[in-house]
Amino acid sequence: MDYPYHPSPSRRQVLEVLGGAGLAAGLGGCNWLEDAPVTVAAHVWVGYQSMFLARDHGWLKPDKVTLLETRSAVESLQAVQAGKAHAAAVTLDEMLTARAIGQPLTAVLVFNTSMGADMLLAEAGMTALAQLKGQRIALEDSSVANIMLAEILREAGLKQSDVHLLRMPVDEHPNVWHKHAADAFITYEPVASQLLARGLVRMFDSRQIPDTIVDVLAFHRDALDNSHGEAIRHLLMAHFRALDSLVRSPQDAAYRLSSRLALPAPDVLKAFKGLVLPSLVLNYRLLSGDNAQLLSTARRVAEILGSGNSVVEMNNPQELVTSAYLPTEGLFK
């Protein structure tokens, strides 16, 4: 099975309570030369599964990396704020919002770009976006959902006042559908596949807003030091090794991830088809230097969110990304 990842060149809410403190309250400081482990917080999103696949294979050493499983991106960011984690797997817009309210985060890896994995689903009788007028739309209270909503309404020729918004965590969407309490859902994988299996139809997805929804591994600035460097590099090497295994042994990867994603193994592979998984070479292009490609994406995302969320801004762009922890050689030995 083919995936948009090449080993050779080639989800969501942020609260204002995140501002302020560093890691000292929880994980504590480390000696400059100490070989210290890292903890990464992540919720169930198909794009983050490389880390869990690497752990399942035994490629993540437990004395170097701990994966803290959360229910949502906001929980992941709260874990970093509380000193329970050094990093969070989040979308770029979530990282920008957290930075703007005082959380010093830097992207060290681009997990994926959504190219269909975020979507609007509706009951089968709906055939045009204009039919959303007067309908109930379930969506997360998140910047990603707001980006999707803004683009959907623009395409439909509607205003936000033309629809009824039901804000809720994405994992509540299947139950809400079962109760007939919403007519459409702005959702993402793996929940999207669960709803598609129940007969909902895709009306709009992130392919129509390319290079906008990007997931990153965001480290607190206090952890980007010599003491944690070896553990961060170990984690990133394990990530790329897992991506390589996904390409070389997709069936094995699907079965390993099936229970975590609550999807049958064949549907796991379908879920990955909505993502572009940047190679190591592409990650260098995205994260390296003053002209890093991710900086351009960040400026565009900040502009999209700026009209509805004044707290999002491109503050200190020189601290936004770094390629310093990406592997340099011997990737799959």
Mean residue pLDDT across the chain = 86
- Encoded tokens for 295: 């900086």
Per domain, the residue ranges of the chain are 16-114+212-319, 118-208
Q: Do 184 and 122 meet the contact criterion of CB atoms below 8 Å apart?
A: yes
For 188-236, write each residue's pLDDT tens digit.
Answer: 888 998 999 999 999 999 999 988 899 999 999 999 988 999 999 999 9
For 37-81, write each residue's pLDDT tens digit.
Answer: 999 999 989 999 999 999 999 999 999 999 999 988 889 999 999
**Range 31-41 burial, b when 16+ CB lie within 10 A, else e:** eeeeebbbbbb
According to DSSP, residue 321 is labeled B
Looking at domain 16-114+212-319, which of 3.40.50.800, 1.10.10.10, 1.10.645.10, 3.40.190.10 is its CATH number?
3.40.190.10
What is the DSSP code string of 100-141?
Answer: HTT--EEEEEEEEEESSSEEEEE-TT--SGGGGTT-EEEE-S
Could you tell me which of 15, 41, 22 has the C-alpha nearest to residue 98? 15
Looking at residue 325, its pLDDT comes to 96
- Encoded tokens for 206: 């992130």
Is-same-fold flag (16-114+212-319; 118-208)?
yes
Could you tell me which of 229, 215, 295 has the C-alpha nearest to residue 49? 215
CATH architecture observed for domain 118-208: 3-Layer(aba) Sandwich (3.40)
Stated pTM of the model: 0.80
Structure confidence at residue 17 as a pLDDT band (50, 70, 90): very low
Q: Which residues have CB under 8 Å from 246's CB, separation 6+?
A: 3, 5, 50, 53, 253, 272, 277
Structure confidence at residue 331 as a pLDDT band (50, 70, 90): low
Looking at residue 177, its pLDDT comes to 94
Structure confidence at residue 142 as a pLDDT band (50, 70, 90): confident
